[in-house]
Structures are given as structure tokens and as C-alpha cells.
Amino acid sequence: MEALDIDRWDLECEFNNTDHRTDLNGVDRLIVRRGQVFTISLYLRSGNYQPGVGSLDLVAETGPQPSEQYGTRASFGLSADIDTSRWSAAVTGPPGDTLTLSICAAPDAPIGRYTLTLGASGQIEFILLYNPWCPDDAVYMDNEKSLEEYVLSQDGIIFRGSSKHPIATPWNFGQFESGILDICLRILDMNPKCLRNPGKDYSGRRNPIYVSRVLSAMVNCNDDKGVLLGRWTDDYEGGVSPMFWRGSVEILRNWDSQACQPVRYGQCWVFAAVACSISRALGIPCRVVTNYFSAHDTNGNLVIERYINENGEPIQSRDMIWNYHCWLESWMTRPDLKSEFNGWQASDPTPQEKSEGVYCCGPIPVRAIKEGDLMFKYDALFVFSEVNADVVTFRKNKDGSTSQVYSTAVVGQKISTKSVGSDAREDITHLYKYPEGSDEEREAFKKANHQNKLLHQQQNPGLHVTIKVTSDMSKGCDFDVFAVVTNNTQSEKKCRLLFGSCAVSYSGVTGGNCGFKDLLNVELPPGGGQRVALRLNYSKYGALLTEDNLIRLGALLLDYTTKESTLAVRNIVLENPEIKVRILGEPKVNRKLAAEITLQNTLPVQLDNCCFTIEGANLTGGCVISETLNSSVGPGEDAKVKIYFTPSHSGLRKLVVDFNSSKLSHVKGYRNVIIGK
């Protein structure tokens, strides 16, 4: 056999990257997916290639300590045909002095940067990614529309607000923007496991379970040189509010340019969105999920103990119920478990509790949460608790005694994600939980040893209280909320009703009083009821609201005869003014467009220092573009600007808009734009 004498080569980056669906990263270098053939052109210096005569020894290597034992080095020669189950190469063009060389990486090869040695002629470099289009890859997903959404889509919707009123927040994932893939690979290189043992870590990158767990630790900075620092107070000194961010690109670039110092600050939806961007960049199908009334159980007993004072006002404790909490789901097989646990895996990069000594969580099969299989890896108990913990409420009396309060609070409501191919909300609660009260739910609770939910539930004392609201609850307005009390017993009841409200953050931290009413003599005939209104005025609540625009309503009904208490709690979210976006001009690639953006000031106060900001994948050149108004905007007046941008790629794109001013900040909006070629 005679070694081929190669003069030069062409990596055919544009053809290969397009074929491997990596062309949005650019076509100036080779980026391919494992388990799929790519082709390069070889130009011989002398002689012609003849099958069975010419030979070529190839060596593919990744990482600082390539090893065949670790799977980070593969040696192979020319074969008659490509074998997609392993590293292989074959000449697929006609014999001659110009060859078409087809190469395939093993479908379980570690992802990352590779060098490929071509005999004695030299080396080529390329990046290898997971391949969810390859049936032999652990991240294979057999649905083209889902792949468009969960791998290729560079923008999306994250649901915030409240369970009664989910609010769609646009997000620019931007995983294919310039430089982002390199930053994602740097994040893997900076993880403590890689710094301790790079050979073993690079080998682990063949496994999306391992990489997902690394990312859930590296997106927060609690144990390492991670991307984001969390902050759940109103003090954002040295950084910006988590509400400031419109996408992941600026965050990732800031981390990279600041020598891997954490970006300040993030909260759950930011952590989850950044992890989603990184996962999609690497080729793992994933989506951001929101769990409303999400339990944070600090001691693992599956019970959230809530305390109120004598006025029904909440007392802070370590166990919390977050108004909502966001995490990530990634799609992969679980060869370490049974096959029914393949599919969506939940992981959570928000630093809440330590797992194996590190602030990370997951991945755990969503199916394991539903079935109550809490012995499976990783962190099943914590995630199960987030969607299933029991809630027990106690009233602390002035004399130090406590009494249990009847309450109907249920955690794990309206678990939500963006629908495939549309901005609509998809309810995926059924993937995490069986219907309440069903035999299947009871079996799952038995398996999970969830004794509190299995025991006889609290008896309804016959007095019932609910909180009702109207539909016109906008920030800046005065409005009424209502406590509706009913007597379901056969005897007359004399009661006391305490109806209060306070500002609250999405993570459950309460603030100042927004309005309070104490009715000492509520008389309820058998089967009768009353509707009690509480007026909330902007002049009082306006200065107390956090950026989440949330108010906690609590109605505590005390039965003078039996001394029993019934509590109703409801969080309401106040709507910001709507941002309207009009595109001026015909949307085409490389043609300058204008976005005319308008927001009406619905607050009874003047807005100063008004600024609109836009960004969008393949719309704004990977940059954030801002426009500041020169004048103030009075009550009822419009803030209006034109911002120019030039799309770089065709297709459906999302232009994300943010508005900030002196009295109204972090108002989000978006416009979907179809860009023609």
C-alpha cells in the first residue's frame, strides 16, 4: 500500500456545515455532528489514487491528553464504505489526482474541538457536536418540527407572571451568534472536573447526561468560575437587575471577555435560558420550563411549613413557595436506567441546594418524577418536592402558641413551556404529575413515601374563603380585589375577616403593605356568604412593587365559636403597558429596516429618561441597539421611536424589545418578523 501524497485540501465548510445544520455558526470553519458523514476534497501532489493501492492513516484527537482508552483518540484508515457506527473514512469520488474523502465520527464520540491528522501530510481542525438527527446518538429526536424548535430556534418564550395569569416573556437564545459556540466550549473547559482531570472530563463529553450536569453547575458561579451570580434582593450594586437581560448573548460574551468572572445578576429564568442556549449550541434538544407555585423544600421531608401572624401576614421561613420557578428540560436516552426513562430530563442551574457537594441539580427523568421513583439519578427528591410537596400552614399567636390553619394551597401548577412552532403556552403538568386524586397519583406517592399526601387530608371546617379579582389590573390603576366568604354549615357563624395585601417577589419574599382591612363582626347565616372589597391604590402600592409587579393577597377567616381558621392566598400580577412594534420596509436579507416602537404611558405620573432597546438573532448583528427619547412622556402620552436594523439571514425571527424609564422599567415586548431572501 502506498501512502497518499497530499498537497492541499478543501474542507468544503459551506457544504458540510449546511448539511450538518451548523451553517448559522458561519461557514468559515468546519463544524459537524457526530454519526453523520462529511466530505473534504484532497489534492494530490503526485500520482493518482487507485482503490486498494493508495492508503491514508487518519488520527482524530480531542483534549489535552488524547487517549484511545478514554475515547478521545481514534486511529483509522480508508475503508471500502463508510461505517456510521464508528470513526471511518472512504474515498467516494472517482480515482484521480483530486479525491473526495468522506469521514464519519462515531455517534458516541466526545464533542468538542478536534484535530484530524491526514497521514504525514498535515492536520485539519474541526468542531464536533451532538447530533439529534442521528438515530445512534443519545440525543436523537425523531420529529423534525421539534428539532426546529428545540435545537435550531434561536429565540423563544419564557413564561413568568402567575398561574392565573401567565405572562409570555420573549428571550433571544442566540446560540448561533458569532463567538457563542467557542464560549460554550470554554465553559466546559473551565469546569472544575476538567481542571482536575482533563482527560477524564473530555472523555465524559461523549455523554449528554454528564455534560448536562456540568452545565447545571457551571451556569451558576457558586462553586466555580461559572457564568452568572444570583441575586434575589433589590440591591443590584455592581451589576444589573436580572430583568435587564433580553437574551443570553450579552451574558455569555460578558463572561468570556471578563476573564470568566461571573456576570451580575441572574434569577431562575435567566439561569435556565442561558443553560438552554449552551445546550442548543452543543446540539442537545432542550426547552425552558416554568413551574407555578414551586416548592423549595430545604430539609427533604416533602412538606412546606408556612407561618402567618395573627393578622394573616406571612412570616418568612427557610421553606418557600416560589410564585414560579424555571428550569431546563433536555432530551436524551438514559442507558443507566430503564428505557421508559428516556426522553425529557429535568436539570436546574439555579443554585438552591447542593447535590454531591456542588450547587447543581439533575438531570432526572421527568417520567421518574411522575412515577415517584426517587432513587434514580440525579436529585429526584428535590424536583419531586418542587411539584408535589404538601403545604401546611400555621398561625403564630402572640403568646407563642401555634395553631394549624385550613388552606387549599397546591404546589406544582400549570407547568408550562413554549409550544412547538408557535408562541402559545403548552401545559405539560401531565408529564410531571398524575391527575389529583387518581389511583396512579396515590401509587406514585406510595412509591415516593409521601406520607403527608397519603394521610387523611385536613377536614374543611365548613367556612370557605376565596379571593376574586377583576380583569383590569394594570400597573398605575386603582382597582378592587374581593374576599368571598361562605358558610357551608347548618348554623349561623360569627367570624372575623382579616384581608390584606403586600408586595412580593416571584421567589416569595414579601414586602410592604399595599392595603389592609380588618372586619371584626362578619355574620354568616347557614348557607349564606359575603363579598368584601379591598381597594388597592397606585399611590400606595406603586412605590412598594418589586420588578416582578406581584402583589400577595391573603384572606384569613376566624370562627369565633370553634376557634378554627381558614386561609386563602392569591398572588396577582399587574400588567405593564403594551409595547407595539411596526416594521417599516420589506423584510429581506441585508436590507435595512426600521422598527417603529410605541408604548403608551398608562401611569398617572410622568416618565423620564425613556429608552427602548432591541435585539434579535440574525436581525441586529449580534448586538443590542438602543434609542433614548429626548423628552419626558406624560400620563396618557405615547413614547415612540424608530430603530434601524439589518437582517443577516432569512426565516422567521423574533425582534425582542425592552423599555426602561424613571418610573416604569423592564417592560418587554416582541414582534415576529419573516425575513425573505
Residue 436 annotated as binding site: yes
Question: Pick the catalytic residue: 256, 348, 548, 559?
Answer: 348
Q: Are 595 and 581 in contact (CB under 8 A)?
A: yes
Backbone angles phi, psi at 380, to 5 degrees: -60, -40
Q: Concatenated DSSP letters for 604-625?
A: SS-B-S-EEEEE-TTTSTTS-E
Q: What amino acid is encoded at 568 in this protein?
A: A
Which of 390, 432, 431, 413 is CA-nearest to residue 292? Answer: 413
Question: Pick the catalytic residue: 104, 134, 194, 268?
Answer: 268
Question: Pick the catalytic residue: 20, 296, 325, 450?
Answer: 325
Residue 441 annotated as binding site: yes
Backbone angles phi, psi at 2, to 5 degrees: -115, 125
430 tagged catalytic:
no
Q: Are 151 and 285 in contact (CB under 8 A)?
A: yes
Q: Which helix (H) or strand (E) holds 486?
A: strand 479-487
- Angle in degrees, CA 497, 502, 504, rounded to 5: 135
CA distances from 196 to 202, 227, 562 (A): 11, 19, 64
DSSP E strand boundaries for 162-277 = 166-172, 228-230, 263-266
Question: Residue with C-alpha cell 400555621?
Answer: 394
Cell numbers representing residue 289 in the block: 420550563
Residue 571 annotated as binding site: no
Residue 474, judged by CB atoms within 10 A of its CB (0-12, 13-18, 19+), counts as middle
The CA distance from 166 to 419, in Å, is 14
666 tagged catalytic:
no
268 tagged catalytic:
yes
Residues 6+ apart with CB under 8 A from 521: 494, 496
Residue 435 is given by DSSP the state P
- Per DSSP, what are the bridge partners of residue 167? 160
The CA distance from 381 to 297, in Å, is 10
Residue 298 is given by DSSP the state S
Q: Are 158 and 267 in contact (CB under 8 A)?
A: no
Residue 68 annotated as binding site: no
Instruction: Check whether the bond before 644 is cis (ω within 30° of 0).
Output: no
Cell numbers representing residue 569 in the block: 392566598
The CA distance from 626 to 118, in Å, is 49
Binding residues for Ca(2+) are 388, 390, 436, 441
Binding residues: 388, 390, 436, 441
Point out the residues that are catalytic.
268, 325, 348
